[in-house]
Amino acid sequence: MGILNNRVVIITGAGGGLGAAHAKVFAAEGACVVVNDINEAAASAVVDEITQAGGKAVVNTSDITNYDDSANAVKQAIDAFGDLHAVLNNAGINRDRMFASMSEADWDAIMSVHLKGHFCITSHAVHYWRGLSKEGREVDARIINTTSGAGLQGSVGQSNYAAAKAGIAALTLNQAVELARYGVTANAIAPAARTGMTTAVEEMATRMAKPEDGSFDYWAPENVSSLLAWLAAEDSKAITGRIFEAEGGRISIADGWRTTEGVDKGARWEPAEVGSAIDQLLAKEVPAQKVYGS
């Protein structure tokens, strides 16, 4: 049927936008999909579309920000389909503000849904996979996280979102190293596609609109879903600890922070001397990409 035959996958925030696209593409490739969304009606609509097309999917309304409730998503996957092979953390919200105008509530909401939301269900899944591994059973599992260009290079007016997404990128690197012993890989995606979040601004909605002439729909969310489907498949077993970017027909790897050669005096720098060392470092650096909106 496809590259995900009988692979059991939980996709969070799958009632709409990118998550719904992921769920449909995964199901079309043979996956058994747990469609997680707090909006039960939206999740049900996605499940109905999948099942009517001959796919396998169930609705799950676990709150990804609630650790105990998140366990129910993992339990449902195992009860409904007999196993769990991948968690795709997709759910997200926006609370855009300039930093000087940001409230504590704006900050906490983003950290809860994005950063804690990436922890809860995944933690329960990892406990399941670790248990199987300790029983001597072969595990071939996937964690797929959703970061953002905002988290990789910053975004004006989104310091809360950028910080959370940067945390997700770092979390992915840690998961990849720590969980390899249990047969679990961890990768992240920074997607660019047409969704409710990206088209909330009229300018973006116009730029990302579906072409009327039937040409390639560059901003279609399904373009991103193809990469994620492959990352959830058995063929991606050797790939872990990577941050991918995807938009349109383009796939790339985001190159992370790297330590440069540096300037070493061999002794303590006097405060007044540090400026000359910085000048030498800046003369040789490869500048970072600009912050979005700057």
- What's the CATH code, domain 8-253? 3.40.50.720
Is the separation of the CB atoms in 10 and 74 below 8 Å?
A: yes
Instruction: Please determine, for residue 269, whether its predicted confidence score (pLDDT) is greater than 80.
Output: yes
pLDDT by residue (tens digit) across 110-165?
A: 999 999 999 999 999 999 999 999 999 999 999 999 999 888 998 899 999 999 99
Per-residue pLDDT, averaged over 194-217, amounts to 69
DSSP-derived secondary structure for the chain:
--TTTT-EEEETTTTSHHHHHHHHHHHHTT-EEEEE-S-HHHHHHHHHHHHHTT-EEEEE---TT-HHHHHHHHHHHHHHHS---EEE--------B-GGG--HHHHHHHIIIIIIHHHHHHHHHHHHHHHHHHTT----EEEEEE--HHHHH-BTTBHHHHHHHHHHHHHHHHHHHHHGGGTEEEEEEEEE---TTTTSSHHHHHHTPPPTTS---TT-THHHHHHHHHHHSGGGTT--S-EEEEETTEEEE------------SSPPPGGGHHHHHHHHHHH--PPPPPBT-
Is the separation of the CB atoms in 17 and 46 below 8 Å?
A: no
pLDDT of residue 202: 59
pLDDT by residue (tens digit) across 77-118?
A: 999 999 999 999 999 998 999 999 999 999 999 999 999 999
Which member of 24, 70, 159, 165 is catalytic?
A: 165
Beta partners for residue 185, in sequence order: 142
Sign of CA dihedral 82, 85, 87, 88: negative
- For 216, phi and psi rounded to 5 degrees? -55, 125
Q: Is 165 a catalytic residue?
A: yes
Instruction: Please determine, for residue 34, whether its predicted confidence score (pLDDT) is greater than 70.
Output: yes
Please enumerate in sequence order all residues whose Cβ is within 8 A of that of 145, keeping only pairs 6 or more positions apart, or say none. 89, 118, 168, 169, 171, 172, 175, 186, 187, 188, 189
Beta partners for residue 127, in sequence order: none
Q: Which band of pLDDT confidence, cut at 50, 70 and 90, is reported for residue 198?
A: low
Q: Which band of pLDDT confidence, cut at 50, 70 and 90, is reported for residue 286?
A: confident
pLDDT of residue 54: 97
As a whole number of Å, the end-to-end CA separation of the chain is: 46
Q: Is 75 a catalytic residue?
A: no
> What's the rounded Cα separation, in Å, for the pair 184 and 180?
5
Which member of 62, 155, 159, 161 is catalytic?
A: 161
How confident is the prediction for the chain on average, in pLDDT? 93
Q: Which band of pLDDT confidence, cut at 50, 70 and 90, is reported for residue 251?
A: very high
Alpha-carbon separation of residue 257 from 115, 131, 148 (angstroms): 20, 34, 15
Q: Is 148 a catalytic residue?
A: yes
As to burial, measured by CB atoms within 10 angstroms (0-12 exposed, 13-18 middle, 19+ buried), residue 217 is: middle
Output the pTM of the full model: 0.92
Characterise 140 by phi-psi region: left (phi > 0), alpha (psi -120 to 50), beta (else). beta
Instruction: Please determine, for residue 70, whether its predicted confidence score (pLDDT) is greater than 60.
Output: yes
pLDDT of residue 197: 63
Is the separation of the CB atoms in 159 and 167 below 8 Å?
A: no
pLDDT of residue 199: 52
> What's the rounded Cα separation, in Å, for the pair 239 and 52?
33
Which member of 62, 70, 128, 148 is catalytic?
A: 148
Instruction: Please determine, for residue 243, whether its predicted confidence score (pLDDT) is greater than 90.
Output: yes
